Amino acid sequence: DGGITQSPKYLFRKEGQNVTLSCEQNLNHDAMYWYRQDPGQGLRLIYYSQIVNDFQKGDIAEGYSVSREKKESFPLTVTSAQKNPTAFYLCASSIGGLTGELFFGEGSRLTVL
Amino acid sequence: AQSVTQPDIHITVSEGASLELRCNYSYGATPYLFWYVQSPGQGLQLLLKYFSGDTLVQGIKGFEAEFKRSQSSFNLRKPSVHWSDAAEYFCAVKQTSYDKVIFGPGTSLSVIP
């Protein structure tokens, strides 16, 4: 079945450590996105990529980094520079363009101890 | 700046009752509008979308939404709510450039048996 796979589902990290969240899609979508979700704040865009080897900062990119070396993969690294990394992270993809809706993975919950 | 508001943070309805979730947006051009639903600890699923044409759009799970340009609104409705509809609902607007989707803060729906 086509879809988006995020891993790990739960992740614990100590302060000062970098952590990478995986996002893989087999929908052949051009565009991919990372959102952060905090209670009562909805979804905030971290980074997005419309094409391989290209990506743009979203609204809250500080303390995060991404890469897009392959069409199907868009990993997110939460660096030690992110001051409050505990959150639910959602990866999404779309066919791109104006009418393409987002397809979401099941999310990764990161907890900083 | 483009924004999406959902005035109701939390709504409680009885099973079988009708439902209306409000969404307002601020955007100068013709918007592309979406409603998504999220079950606890899961990703988001598209309920319906509006791009153009008939202002009343039908979605999955018996939901519908009406686009009112004069009110900058895109309210979600369901004639009879089921207990399984309890979830978080997000309204979203897509910018016509850079393929970005902006989400509202969400409305949490509880259903009383």
CA separation (Å) from A40 to A8, A110, B32, B45, B105? 24, 17, 24, 18, 6
Q: Which residues from B are below 8 Å from A4, CB to CB?
A: 43
Chain A residues in contact with B100 by the CB 8 A cut-off are: 45, 48, 58
Per 3-state DSSP, chain B is made up of helix, strand and coil in percentages (nearest 5) of 10, 50, 40
B42-91 pLDDT, tens digit per residue, is 899 999 999 888 899 999 999 999 999 999 999 999 999 999 999 999 99
pLDDT at B48: 96
Could you tell me if B93 lies within 8 Å of chain A, comparing CB atoms?
A: no
What pLDDT score does A98 carry?
A: 64
> Does residue B80 contact residue B14 with C-beta atoms inside 8 Å?
no
Q: In what order do the strands lie in the sheet with A64-66?
A: A4-7, A19-25, A76-78, A64-66
CB A66 within 8 A of CB A53: no
Q: Which residue does chain A place closest to B42, by CA atoms?
A: A106
What is the reported pLDDT for B27? Answer: 76
Round to whole Å and give the CA distance between B36 and A23. Answer: 20
Min distance A64 CA to chain B CA atoms (Å)? 18
pLDDT score for A48: 92
Distance CA B113, CA A82 (A): 43
Main-chain phi, psi angles of B89, to 5 degrees: -120, 130
Cβ contact B41–A107 (<8 Å): yes
Q: Nearest CA of chain A to the CA of B106: how many Å?
A: 6
- In tens, the pLDDT along A6-64 reads 999 999 999 889 999 999 999 999 999 999 999 878 899 999 999 999 999 999 999 99
pLDDT surpasses 70 at B99: no
